[in-house]
Amino acid sequence: MDELIIELEQRGCDMEATLERFLDDKEFYRDCLLSVLSDSNFDILGDYLKSHDIKGAFECAHTIKGLIANMGIEELNDIIVRIVEPLRSSQDEGLIEVYDELMEKKKIYDELVKKYV
């Protein structure tokens, strides 16, 4: 389990502060991370963005932002903020490309966590 934490730290995640929220229970953190990364909001967000449903997209993106921030995944958080903020202002132009970037980076974390399940 320590290897997962080390790899996440190498990717820029603040694991010290994050693990404090999880009472230093690394297995619980890993299980929660698995759950977050498999959350259906990631796919639903893409559908909403493609159909220009700004309200639905904002709700999904905001949920994802909270989940990612709680898990300390700064790399993904930096990307989802670039989706949330325009949607907050009812703008969705160019967000499909940002969403694609989010999903590509998410794959890295999907694979990383699967190594330690």
Question: Per residue in 26-75, pLDDT tens?
Answer: 999 999 999 999 999 999 999 999 999 999 999 999 999 999 999 999 99
What are the CA-CA distances from residue 107 to residues 4, 91, 92, 94, 104 (Å)?
Answer: 15, 26, 23, 21, 5
Where would I find the beta strands (DSSP E) of the chain? Answer: none
The count of domains in the chain is 1
Domain that holds residue 84: 40-117
26 part of a folded domain: no
89 part of a folded domain: yes
25 part of a folded domain: no
Tell me which amino acid residue 3 is.
E
Enter the tokens of residue 52: 């220009």
96 part of a folded domain: yes
- Mean pLDDT over the full length of the chain: 96
77 part of a folded domain: yes
Nearest CA among 59, 64, 33 for reference residue 48: 59
Residue 1: pLDDT band with limits 50, 70, 90: confident
Q: Are 100 and 40 in contact (CB under 8 A)?
A: no
